[in-house]
Structure 1
Amino acid sequence: MRRLRPIDADLFRRLYTCPQVMESVGPPLTVEEANDAFVRACTHNAGDSPGHRFWTVERAGEKVGIVALVRSEASGEIGLLLTPEAWTGNYSRPVLRRVINHCFRAMSLDEVVAESKDGIRERVSRRLLSDFPFERIAAATGRARWRLTREAWARARRKTAPNDA
Structure 2
Amino acid sequence: MQLSDDSIELLPFKESDFELFLEIITCPQMMEHVYDPLTYDEAKFSFGERLPPWKLESDKWRSFSINEIKSGEKLGYISLRIVNHNAKIAEVGFMIKASAQGKGVGSKALKLIKQYAFDALMLNKLVAFCSVHNSGSFNLLEKEDFSRERCLKQNTLINNHYRDDYAYGLCKPTL
For this structure pair, what is the TM-score category when the shorter chain's length is used for normalisation?
A: 0.7 to 0.9
Query: Does structure 1 residue 89 correspond to structure 2 residue 111?
Result: no
Distance 1:86 1:46 in 2: 28
Distance 2:23 2:41 in 1: 12
Aligned position for 2:62:
53
Distance 1:11 1:100 in 2: 23
Paired residue for 1:112, among 126, 139, 148?
A: 126
Aligned position for 1:135:
147
Task: Decide whether aligned partners of structure 1 residues 4 and 50 sit closer, same or farther in structure 2, where only a CA change above 3 A counts.
Answer: farther
Q: Provide runs of 4+ in structure 1 moved above 6 Å.
A: none
Aligned position for 1:146:
168
Gaps of 5+ in 1: 156-165
Gaps of 5+ in 2: 1-9, 154-163
Bigger relative CO (Cα 8 Å, ≥ 6 apart):
2
The answer to whether the 8 A contact 1:69-1:79 is kept is yes
Tell me the SS of whatever aligns to 2:152: coil
Q: Per-residue deviation at 1:81?
A: 0.6
Aligned position for 1:25:
34
Task: Decide whether aligned partners of structure 1 residues 48 and 71 sit closer, same or farther in structure 2, where only a CA change above 3 A counts.
Answer: closer
The answer to whether the 8 A contact 2:54-2:62 is kept is no
Aligned position for 1:63:
74
Query: Does structure 1 residue 14 correspond to structure 2 residue 26?
Result: no
The answer to whether the 8 A contact 1:136-1:145 is kept is yes
Percent identity over the alignment is 25
The answer to whether the 8 A contact 1:58-1:65 is kept is yes
Higher helix share: 1
Moved more, 135-144 or 45-54: 45-54
CA RMSD, 1 decimal: 1.7
Aligned position for 2:94:
80
Query: In the TM superposition, what whole-angstrom CA distance separates every residue of 1:62-104 from its partner, at most 9, and x where no partner exists?
Result: 1110111021211111111111111133201010000011111
